[in-house]
């Protein structure tokens, strides 16, 4: 990048110095090698710098290698703010609160399943409600609509849509304890009443995959993975409920920023002090939406298990579908980290980024204490996905964070324009990928070339040492909204 205040620190990091923009309290660090650097939008760099102007910033503002322009913060952005004197910002979380990814392993081998693969995928497509605004999931009665906002994934397990051990392998146990359903508006609650157990649209997916490569066999063994294994990857979030929570609180935060004298270089950075009434109310509502998302992914997990068993004529023991891990992105969490040599409580915003906690962290399942946290980085419909493991270096440098995916190369509008006249379904079928979507427009928006090459993105994450590669997965069947 040709700017005097942007310097390359090493092969995998760029520094946007504090002199880049008036009001920056610290630098912004962007994780990208020279190959990915040329794809970084100037507007995304501007947003990373803007993030560093907010009060109470701890360390540097960060951006992962999947960086692209978002609302307020860049997607791929990570920023931590002191819990005592710092802010919380809906734009640093995003509209799709706790849009996350979970990986499920089975006992099945692709060699045996291949003849029945399309019929299995068709069964999943027929049973999983998908598409923009689509309901048809587990409809909540008004008297119970606050329960999944408090209990999260445990609510779905209690409904028979999972097992208790699923909660052990979900980030935060599948629920954040500070949720405040009373801080969630009526319209948001109504939007969420019929969307539990639904996939949604856009980049959300349900994908049958094959394990093709193992890079760390010891960690793969701990995670229950082997070459040729059939796995299932699921990506969705809090649906309309979370979107509405974000929209509602952006307006609240704009007024609050003025009231508390917070100077905003961009109105989309609307924020309030974390300790303020507005900040705590948003945090409570965000946690409730995050818990709804965990309930949603858990409900879909139960539905997927049932469908696999019915379509293949297997019992649950024979299928042995188990949750490897569930990671959240688009979320803010109160955590303790070491900043400039001292431990402090910070509110870590991860927008299009996930945790990558290193070995020994107390929040990890005991079985993963030695390996570090599983880090799931999906690719696109036509390319591979990865499982990595978090490192101690991530704890030191990125608040225990890594990227959440490949990252878009082009806008949805541009992708649709380039897809005109093409049959994306047939193109993917020619590559051996069976794909079904609720609408043709989604396939155009989500075509492989709309995204960065996930191999290159993961190469930066691994090269920078913030996560190490464990396994690679090839898509076989993809269901989109």
Supply the CATH number for residue 103's domain: 3.90.1860.10
133 has pLDDT over 60? no
- At 63 the pLDDT is 98
Kindly state whether residue 1 falls inside one of the protein's structural domains: no
**Does the structure show a pLDDT above 90 at 472?**
yes
What local confidence, expressed as pLDDT, does residue 131 receive?
55
- Residue 61's φ and ψ, nearest 5 degrees, are -75, 145
Calculate helix-pair angle for 239-259, 277-312, nearest 10 degrees.
170
The predicted model gives 286-291 an average pLDDT of 98
Does residue 90 form part of some domain? no
C-alpha dihedral (130, 350, 14, 81), degrees to nearest 10: 160
In a domain, residue 246? The reply is yes
How much is the pLDDT for 385? 97
User: What per-residue confidence (pLDDT) applies to 444?
Assistant: 85
Catalytic positions: 404
Percent of the chain at pLDDT > 70 equals: 98
Maximum average pLDDT range among 396-400, 404-408, 443-447: 396-400
| Cβ–Cβ under 8 Å, residues 397 and 58 | no
Instruction: Give the per-residue pLDDT at 418.
Output: 87
Enclosing domain of residue 331:
6-83+97-480
Pairing of strands 99-109, 87-88: unpaired
Q: Is residue 410 part of a domain?
A: yes
Q: How many CB atoms lie within 10 A of CB 261?
A: 7
Q: What mean pLDDT, rounded, does the chain reach?
A: 94
Contact partners, residue 395, CB within 8 Å, separation at least 6: 337, 338, 357, 358, 361
Q: Is residue 194 part of a domain?
A: yes
| Confidence band of 2 (pLDDT split at 50, 70, 90) | confident
In the chain, what percentage of residues exceed pLDDT 90? 83
Return contacts of 267-270, CB within 8 angstroms, 24+ apart: 268/71, 268/72, 268/91, 269/50, 269/51, 269/53, 269/54, 269/72, 269/73, 269/89, 269/91, 269/92, 270/72, 270/89, 270/90, 270/91
Residue 30 in this model has a pLDDT that exceeds 90: yes
Q: Give the residue, 152 or 422, on which the prediction is more confident.
A: 152
Q: Is residue 441 over pLDDT 80?
A: no
Domains identified in the chain, total number = 1
pTM to 2 decimals?
0.96
Residue 442: band (very low, low, confident or very high) from pLDDT cuts 50, 70, 90: confident
Neighbouring CB atoms inside 10 A of 69's CB total: 18
**pLDDT tens by residue, 376-402:** 999 988 899 999 999 999 999 999 999
Q: Is residue 88 part of a domain?
A: no
**What pLDDT band is residue 425 in, cutting at 50, 70 and 90?**
confident
Task: Please name the residues in contact with 430: beta carbons below 8 A apart, sequence gap of 6 or more.
Answer: none
Q: Residue 182: its pLDDT value, please? A: 97
Sign of CA dihedral 388, 379, 406, 431: positive
pLDDT tens digit sequence for 449-458: 889 999 999 9
Is residue 48 domain-resident? yes
Q: Is residue 92 part of a domain?
A: no
């Amino acid at each position: 990048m040709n700017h005097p205040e942007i310097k390359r620190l090493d092969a995998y990091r760029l520094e946007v110095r504090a002199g880049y923009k008036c009001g920056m309290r610290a630098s912004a660090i962007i994780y990208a090698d020279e190959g990915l650097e040329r794809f970084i939008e100037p507007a995304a760099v501007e947003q990373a710098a803007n993030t560093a102007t907010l009060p109470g910033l701890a360390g540097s503002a960060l951006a992962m290698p999947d960086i692209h322009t978002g609302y307020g913060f860049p997607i791929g952005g990570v920023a931590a703010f002191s819990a005592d004197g710092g802010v919380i910002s809906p734009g640093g979380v995003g509209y799709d609160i706790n849009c996350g990814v979970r990986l499920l392993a089975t006992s099945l081998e692709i060699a045996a399943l291949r003849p029945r693969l399309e019929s299995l995928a068709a069964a999943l497509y027929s049973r999983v409600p998908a598409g923009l605004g689509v309901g048809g999931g587990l409809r909540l009665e008004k008297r119970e609509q606050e329960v999944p906002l408090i209990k999260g994934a445990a609510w779905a397990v209690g409904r028979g849509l999972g097992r208790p051990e699923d909660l052990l392998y979900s980030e935060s146990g599948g629920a954040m304890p500070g949720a405040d359903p009373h801080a969630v508006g009526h319209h948001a609650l109504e939007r969420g009443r019929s969307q539990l157990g639904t996939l949604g649209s856009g980049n959300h997916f349900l994908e049958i995959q094959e394990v093709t490569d193992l890079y760390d066999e010891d960690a793969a063994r701990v995670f229950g993975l082997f070459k040729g294994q059939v796995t299932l990857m699921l990506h969705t979030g809090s649906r309309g409920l979370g979107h509405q929570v974000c929209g509602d609180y952006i307006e609240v935060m704009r007024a609050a920023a003025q009231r508390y004298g917070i100077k905003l270089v961009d109105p989309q950075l609307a924020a309030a002090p974390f300790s303020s009434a507005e900040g705590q109310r948003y945090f409570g509502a965000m946690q409730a939406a995050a818990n709804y998302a965990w309930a949603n992914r858990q409900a879909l997990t139960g539905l997927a298990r049932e469908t696999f068993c019915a379509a293949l004529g297997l019992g649950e023991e024979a299928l042995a579908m188990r949750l490897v891990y569930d990671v959240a992105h688009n979320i803010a969490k109160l955590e303790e980290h070491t900043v400039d040599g001292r431990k402090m409580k910070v509110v870590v915003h991860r927008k299009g980024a996930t945790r990558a906690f290193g070995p020994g962290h107390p929040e990890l399942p005991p079985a993963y204490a030695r390996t570090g946290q599983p880090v799931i980085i999906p690719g696109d419909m036509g390319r591979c996905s990865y499982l990595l493991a978090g490192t101690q270096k991530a704890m030191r440098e990125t608040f225990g964070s890594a990227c959440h995916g490949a990252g878009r190369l082009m806008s949805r509008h541009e992708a649709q324009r380039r897809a005109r006249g093409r049959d994306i379904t047939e193109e993917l079928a020619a590559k051996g990928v069976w794909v079904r979507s609720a609408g043709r427009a989604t396939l155009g928006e989500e075509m492989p070339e709309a995204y960065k090459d996930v191999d290159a993105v993961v190469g930066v994450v691994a090269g920078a040492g913030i996560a190490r590669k464990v396994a690679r997965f090839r898509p076989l069947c993809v269901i989109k909204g």
